[in-house]
Amino acid sequence: MGREEKMQALVQYSKKLEPLPERFKDLDRGAFTVPECQTRVDIIPELSDGRMHFYADLNVRQSPTIAAVLAIIFAAVNGQPPSTTLAIPSDFVSVLMESIGLASREVGLNAMVARLKRYARDAERQTA
């Protein structure tokens, strides 16, 4: 698959990012913002019955790549125990971005994965 096809696939995948539920609309999101990302992204975790669920609030039209990567990650970790999030390989972002030629996005995406793992570690402590 060529770069153009990969980019089109990312745009399509970005549409799969679950919208932020209404219950979070009035939440003070300052604590959930990922400051390392060039685009404003708020990642909100939820723990229920020992399982994690992540939501992201961002402008999908402005940042389809970020939305697509989060949709891919969330598809794998939502509804799973925190250990699933903690098992995301440390090189996941670099491998993914290198394969589509978007290495410049690595800093922000790595920060998002680090944030997910921090939330998962906190959740593990709560359930221990």
Q: For 78-111, how does the pLDDT look when each residue is reduced to its tens digit (9 = 90+)? A: 999 999 999 999 988 888 777 776 666 788 889 9
pTM, 2 dp: 0.88
DSSP state letters, 43-65:
EEEEEETTEEEEEEE--TTT-HH
DSSP state letters, 76-89:
HHTTB-HHHHHTS-
Render pLDDT for 29-81 as a digit per residue (tens, 0 to 9).
Answer: 888 999 888 889 999 999 999 999 999 999 988 888 889 889 999 999 999 99
